[in-house]
Structure formats: C-alpha cells, structure tokens
Structure 1
Amino acid sequence: MQAHEHDHECGENCDHEDHEHSHGPHDELVTVRDLIRYATSQFNRARLFFGHGSVDAYDEAVYLVLHTLHLPIDRLEPFFDACIPADERIEVLDVIQRRVEERIPAAYLTKEAWLGEFRFFVDERVIVPRSYFFELLREGFEPWIADPEGVTHALDLCTGSGCLAILMAHYFPSARIDGIDLSPDALDVARQNVADYGLEEVVRLIESDVFGALGEERYQLILSNPPYVTEDAMQVLPEEYLHEPRMALAAGDDGLDIVRRIIAGARKHLTDDGILVVEVGHNRDLVEAAFPELEFVWLTNASEEEKVFLLRADQLPA
C-alpha cells in the first residue's frame, strides 16, 4: 500500500519537479551507470551499514536503482547505458537520499527481501529476512533428515515474515508447516507472504509465546531463528538495525533468553526421531557455556560459519 501511495505522490510532483530541476546539480546523472556510481559514492561516504542482504555499497546501489526503475534486479548489463528521464531520476535520487539520511534498510524502502530466488514482502513490522537456514534447507538437512519427502509435520518457531515456513513448505513438499510468532504484527506480514505463495492450506500461523499455544503438537523438525542479540550488542547496533522490531533482536544479557526456553520445551514437541535446529549468530561460546551437558552439532554453510546448532530429540532435556 505504502509503495503505491509513494508512486502516486511522485506522479503528482513530476511536472513541477522537472521544471525546478532543469538545471539542478544532478543533471549530469543521465544513465543507469551514472546513478549507480553516484549511489555507491553516497553510500560509502555516509558509511552505511550493509547487513540486510547486500554485501557492500555497490551491491546495494545496483539493487535500489534497478528496483526503483522497475527493471529486473538480476540483469544490469542491458540497461547500464540507458538514459533515464527526469521524472524517474527524481524517484531514484529520492530513494538514495532516504537510504543515506534515514539509514533505512533497503528492504524497507523497497518493501521486499530475497532469499535466493524467493521474494518476500517485508516492512518495519518484521525483521528483514537474512537467515543462514536458506542454504541448509536447500540441502535438506542431510544426513539428519534422510528423506525430505518423509517429513510430514514441521515447525518454524519465531517465524517473523513467514519466510522460513514458506521455504520449509517448498523443500519438504509432503509437510504441513506451523509458523509461530508472539507478534500479531509479524503474523499479519507472514499471512500476506503465505497468501502470495498460495500456501494457506499448508502453512498454519499461530500466535504463541514460544511453545505456549501448541498443546500436544509434535514435529519431526523444529527450526528457529529466534532473537539472540546480547544486551551489550544491542547498545552498539548500527543505526540500520534500529528500524527493526526490538523484540525480534534483543534476548537479554547473554542473548539466550529465548534459546533457553526453546531447549527446555522442545523435547515435548518433537517426535522420537525429531531434530531441533536453532540459529544463534555469533553466540556459540555463550551457548556452549550455558549448556555444558549438551553435545551440540554445529552446522556450517557455504561461508563456513558455525551459527546454527542441531540437537536430536533424545539429546534434549525431558
């Protein structure tokens, strides 16, 4: 809705703006190449932080320029030297300026986030999807899950935008998926994404504080990307992260407030051969110190970072 309103405003202002900017400081920015170069310089100069999908200023500049011009975001070459009319240029410059001045993550400016080829609607009601689970799901959690087709019931705990629940539905085609979140706002966003993928009959969204609303439900796979930012880290987060819901990030002094509750309650909701998989970011040392009796398996992804642990049902406290 907001994106549509914004387009409408731009349309109303165009004639006036064109005239006003006829000899503006940005007149030399004529092509897509010019605008990407300019955005990259602005982002570097402003020392923006890129932790929401883009790897650096250039990557983000390409994405924002192509998205704003309604061009395919994976095909830059054919458009590099295309001349951009003034009204479109104003829109692009406006987005660049907002990214710099307000430090809003690009995903909130474009109302979308990508995990591989999967697109999700996002806004400030949910954390921007950026999970290590994407690569692990693509591999089907081998060897712990021998047959992805055999998974019939799985849980995405702390679902946020619903992105992981949707990916689970894709990679475990026989499964019914439950997605849980404490935030009604987040569940509204998740509902929109579930509907966009036509998965209303497959993904069930539940408002619940961890396992509270689940009754006796049991799953072969419980996956969670919970809040895990320590209080010290919350104090020094880059400004971009402050646009995200605090409850999706902060998790007490040691970042393990929710992880403790997940480990304590997961056994009751797993089948005998089920597994629990949880992302904890850079907190491996804190997790191992808090649970010295548990033999965590740390999963590596393509970047070789061990930020996700796996426990079998029989390893968990009863």
Structure 2
Amino acid sequence: MTQPTGTAGADLETLARVVGRVRANIERVIEGKADVVSSTLVVLLAEGHLLLEDVPGVGKTQLSKALARSIDCSVRRIQFTPDLLPSDVTGVSVFNQNTREFEFRPGGVFANIVVGDEINRASPKTQSALLECMEERQVTVDNNTYVLEQPFMVIATQNPIEMEGTYTLPEAQRDRFMARVSVGYPVEAAEIAMLDSHTRSNPLDDLEAVTDAAELRKLISIVGQVYVSPAVQRYTVAISAATRRSEELSLGASPRATLHLARAAKALAAISGRDYVLPDDVRAMTRPVLAHRLLPSADAAMNGRGAQAILDSVVAGVPVPAGS
C-alpha cells in the first residue's frame, strides 16, 4: 500500500526534531496531557484550526498560549464577549482627516496564530466574522480583500453550551474547525506537580520560541508530501459516507470534513515518522475531526446516544482496507 513519495528521511527527522521541541515547551505548561498536545500539533501541521472545548479552569487558554509562544510569529488574542463586534475581529475602514481617505485598520485575525478565547460567548453574528478567514485565509471589508499571512491558525476555546452565558456555535462555524479537543481534568500526580510549578511562577513567562513561521511553513510542506494510497483514500471517504447514511444522525460529515480527516491523518503519519498514511492514522483522527460536526437525530438523543458513541459505531462498521 506504500509507494516512494519523495519525502526524504532527513525531512521527517527535521520535522520530528522541531515537533519534539514544541511538544516539550507545551508540556512545561500543560502536564499529563500528551494526547491533547499531540492532537494540537497534528492540527498545526495539517493547516487546520483547533477548537478546545471543556469546562472552565482546565487549561484551554494556557494550552493556546503555550503553542503560540513556542513559535516566533505574529500572535493576536481576541477575547470574545457579548458586546464584541464583527469589525473588532476583521478590521474596519476609518476616515483619515489628514489624507481625506479611508484607511484600513486590521482586526484581531491579522496574525499567524489567533487565539479566540471563549468564542461561544460572542453573538452568532460576531462568530460568523471568522467564516471567511478560516476557510479562505482572507478578509473582505468594504469590497476590499486582504490576504492573511501564512501560516494561519485559529485556536478557539469554548465552554460547554450548558454553561451560563454561552451561544451555540453554528454548524458552519464548527465545520471549519479541523478538530475539537477536550482537555479534561488532570490526573492526581499531574495536578500535584502543577501546584508545585504554577504557584511559584507562571511557566508561560519562561517559554521561549523554539521555531518560527518560515520553518513551520517547511514542515507543513513536508506533511503535504506524505503519501495516501487509493485504498486509504477510499477508506476515508467511506467513513464520511457512512455517517451520512446513519439513521442515528440528522447531519453527517461534509466533504470538507473528509478533506480535514485526510490532512490530519497525513500529519499524524509524519509525526509518527512515516511518509505514508495507514488506516490506523485515519481511525485515530475520526473522533477529534468528525464528532463535533455530527448532529444526532431526535430519537438517538432521546436514547442518550451522543455523537461520539454513534461515530464509533459507524467507524466500526466500515471495512478496513485489506493488507493494511
């Protein structure tokens, strides 16, 4: 199922070395969450956007900041609040009295890494200001289009919709996030270690950048060369198609979701030191990439069947390519 791809071993070694440095930086701040850190790095290398969803106080914003500080590039933070306006996100044209012309003042999305804190506390209208930039890497204001610098990644945090003062994230917005990850509570040993390391000083203050935007663009290019065999491509499409046929789901995975799943699998393979994708890579990324896009049917919801449980059943029913 594998073929030579032109992805040199030296390239994968470079990727592993840089990813290792970024991982070590993040784990100085977020302890005992290796799987969460891995998913974050996969989304970064796959040119996706990451949604961190969990209850307050588990380290969502700390994780976002740790990743941002590990990369020497432009970083902006947007604190989403009920009174935030779309122009605060995208930018606004302001009339200059001296030049007698309108000047564009960029909003918070004009950066390599945009940290959107508590995105679902802003109104759906303001949330929608991110739709164009997340999908097309550009912003249109007053009929003028401004291209965003590459790489571009949105890391958004949100609290569960049961929390007070939150809005439901629209389906179109959720579909633009490559993956949704829950940080979860730390294990006891990690929480004890946190008391020791975080009460004396903030570990974020000591973090230094271990890579830059130019090197990150090279790593993204390396991931793009990872080979996906026709059998694995068919397997990826079959999983998405199966979600659309499921009677337990009123909304299945979109074609964009299929593309995101393939990209994430390629990034996971590269991080694992391989220049080809295995079906296991695809299966490993199905939950973070697909679950947040699915809507259980009314009957499934009444029976207590959540999107993740339904997705697991769907994936289990898709045959794995022979010889993989």
Please state which band the TM-score falls in when normalised by the shorter chain.
under 0.3
So what's the TM-score if we normalise by structure 2? Answer: 0.26
So what's the TM-score if we normalise by structure 1? Answer: 0.27
Larger-gyration structure (1/2): 1
Q: Going by fraction, where is helix more abundant, 1 or 2?
A: 2
Higher relative contact order by CA 8 Å / sep ≥ 6: 1 or 2?
2
